[in-house]
């Protein structure tokens, strides 16, 4: 394979023959990068309650409010870091290439997650989770851009589903760990050392994963200004819409789904410490299936109708969990799996749709901004989660049902977006 995209006599890029090996290596790198990213995201909800219980003042009476307040603060630090990292590493991917930027993002989140092992105070966790999140926020947009620019158009829905499901495989791993080795105030630190392992993936990426030739051709000989371009006409409206489409599921994920292990822990009680591992596992399993299904449905009936239906079914699933399920048991586990399926299905739809909105030269920046901007709104909610829970009388169910109403906005704004089914990626 040559380093240049073939160009016709008219100066237009012509189709390039890319080896199957290059395609597979690219997909593997993006999948593993996002899978480990999901594992990193899943670690904190699993360890949060036991870690914060240990960090309370020695001899103090256990205070659920202390856990909720600091869970909200640390989660907010993570979300703000991820939003900043999505923009920074996305911009870097459009400037220096998808592969180099992706290695830096993975190295960033691996190192700082591992350093959480040494945290002694809640604010230590907040700072380190912020720094780790910079890398986590950037990895998604880079992996999606790389895969979608290399694999053929007819396989993009399948690729979107695989990438969308990848993070949830990481959640499954964390859930299995939580079941086999229940996380307690005396045993939470070692799990963070596992979070440092993805650093090894960067060596594989730099040695074996090819750079996107489509990106090379798009930026060759040009002074690309991705930030300026995505905030200018004609891309500004698409940037705003893409940000809304990603923000809606992110607000629910971080405002509801990430809190399910804590809710499970409270309902199950200290005599069943593995319960949060089971709920974590079932939510992730449902999320994998939802992420794989959504882009295939989007290819069949169109991007816009699919998003509308995902919002509608997500409202129904969260309503069922939060209104009809009152205690931990088989029905609770089933309902959390249903919530995982529908609320995470957007993360299979987004890798299919967002790349179709933006040209190659700014794709990583636009995706990084759109995918992570919603985390700022989620961070505001998480930071005030203690007050929010107080408003709802410490009821996770009532707070969750209120937050899930954001899907109604998605059911409206999707019809203002272009339908891209059957169209090629913009050059």
* Tens digits of pLDDT across the chain (427 residues): 333 444 444 343 444 567 888 899 999 999 998 898 888 887 887 788 888 888 886 666 667 778 878 888 888 898 889 889 988 999 999 999 999 999 999 999 999 999 999 999 999 999 999 999 999 888 888 999 999 999 998 899 999 999 989 988 888 888 788 778 877 788 888 888 888 888 888 888 888 898 888 899 888 877 778 889 999 988 999 999 999 999 999 888 877 777 777 778 777 777 777 787 788 788 888 999 999 999 999 999 999 999 999 999 999 998 898 888 878 888 988 999 999 999 999 999 999 999 999 999 999 999 988 888 877 777 776 666 666 666 777 677 777 788 888 999 999 999 999 999 998 888 7
Q: What's the confidence (pLDDT) of residue 386?
A: 62
Q: For residue 367, which of 105, 209, 168, 139 has the smallest C-alpha distance?
A: 139
The SS3 call for residue 26 is helix
Task: Note whether 234 and 32 are within 8 A (CB).
Answer: no
Beta bridge partners, 7, equal 13
Beta bridge partners, 229, equal none
Distance, CA of 352 to CA of 260 (rounded, Å): 28
Distance, CA of 285 to CA of 290 (rounded, Å): 9
Q: How many CB atoms lie within 10 A of CB 359?
A: 15
φ and ψ at 13, to 5 degrees? -70, 135
Q: For residue 242, which of 381, 385, 90 has the smallest C-alpha distance?
A: 90
From residue 123, give the alpha-carbon distance in Å to each of 62, 171, 368, 385. Answer: 19, 24, 27, 16
Q: For residue 12, is the peptide bond before it cis, meaning its omega torsion is within 30 degrees of 0?
A: no
Q: How many CB atoms lie within 10 A of CB 72?
A: 21
Q: What's the confidence (pLDDT) of residue 10?
A: 37
Tokens coding 78: 């993570």
**Cα torsion angle, 310, 311, 312, 313, sign:** positive
Alpha helices in 151-302 (DSSP H): 156-180, 189-194, 201-208, 213-219, 226-230, 236-255, 260-268, 275-301
* Residues recorded for the chain: 427
φ and ψ at 151, to 5 degrees? -80, 150
Q: What's the confidence (pLDDT) of residue 1?
A: 38
**CA quadruple 168, 171, 175, 176: dihedral, nearest 10:** 70
Distance, CA of 289 to CA of 259 (rounded, Å): 21
CB neighbours of 403 closer than 8 A, spacing ≥ 6?
A: 251, 252, 255, 256, 381
Task: Note whether 293 and 202 are within 8 A (CB).
Answer: no
From residue 11, give the alpha-carbon distance in Å to each of 7, 37, 149. Answer: 6, 40, 19
Beta bridge partners, 87, equal none
């Amino acid at each position: 394979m040559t380093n240049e995209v073939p160009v016709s006599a008219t100066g237009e890029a012509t189709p390039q023959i890319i080896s199957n090996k290059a395609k597979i290596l690219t997909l593997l790198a993006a999948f593993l990068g996002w899978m480990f990213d999901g594992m990193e995201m899943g670690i904190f909800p699993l360890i949060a309650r036991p870690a914060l219980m240990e960090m309370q003042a020695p001899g103090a009476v256990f205070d659920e409010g202390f856990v909720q307040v600091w869970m909200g603060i640390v989660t907010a630090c993570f979300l703000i870091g991820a939003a900043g990292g999505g923009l920074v590493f996305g911009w870097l991917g459009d400037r220096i290439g998808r592969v180099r930027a992706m290695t830096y993002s993975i190295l960033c989140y691996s190192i700082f997650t591992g350093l959480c092992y040494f945290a002694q105070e809640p604010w230590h966790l907040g700072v380190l989770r912020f720094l780790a999140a910079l890398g986590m926020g950037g990895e998604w947009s880079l992996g999606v851009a790389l895969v979608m620019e290399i694999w053929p158009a007819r396989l993009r829905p399948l690729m979107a589903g695989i990438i969308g499901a990848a993070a949830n495989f990481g959640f499954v791993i964390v859930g299995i760990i939580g079941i086999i080795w229940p996380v307690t105030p005396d045993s939470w630190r070692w799990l963070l050392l596992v979070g440092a392992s993805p650093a090894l993936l960067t060596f594989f990426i730099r040695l074996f994963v090819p750079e996107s030739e489509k990106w090379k051709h798009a930026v060759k000989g040009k002074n690309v200004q991705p930030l300026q371009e995505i905030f200018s006409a004609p891309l500004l409206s698409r940037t705003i819409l893409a940000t809304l489409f990603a923000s809606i599921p992110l607000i629910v994920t971080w405002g509801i789904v990430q809190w399910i292990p804590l809710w499970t822990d409270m309902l199950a009680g200290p005599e069943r410490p593995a319960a949060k591992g089971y709920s974590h596992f079932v939510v992730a399993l449902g999320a994998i299936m939802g992420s794989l299904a959504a882009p295939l449905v989007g290819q069949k009936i169109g991007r816009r109708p699919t998003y509308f239906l995902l919002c509608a079914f997500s409202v129904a699933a969260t309503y069922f969990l939060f209104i009809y399920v009152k205690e931990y048991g088989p029905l609770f586990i089933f309902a959390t799996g249903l919530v995982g399926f529908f609320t995470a299905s957007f993360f299979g739809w987004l890798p299919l749709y967002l790349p179709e909105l933006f040209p190659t030269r700014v794709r990583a920046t636009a995706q990084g901004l759109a995918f992570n901007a919603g985390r700022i709104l989620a961070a505001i909610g998480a930071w005030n989660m203690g007050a929010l829970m107080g408003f709802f009388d410490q009821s996770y169910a009532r707070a969750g049902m209120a937050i899930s109403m954001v899907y109604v906005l998605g059911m409206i704004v999707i019809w203002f977006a272009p339908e891209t089914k059957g169209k090629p990626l913009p050059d």
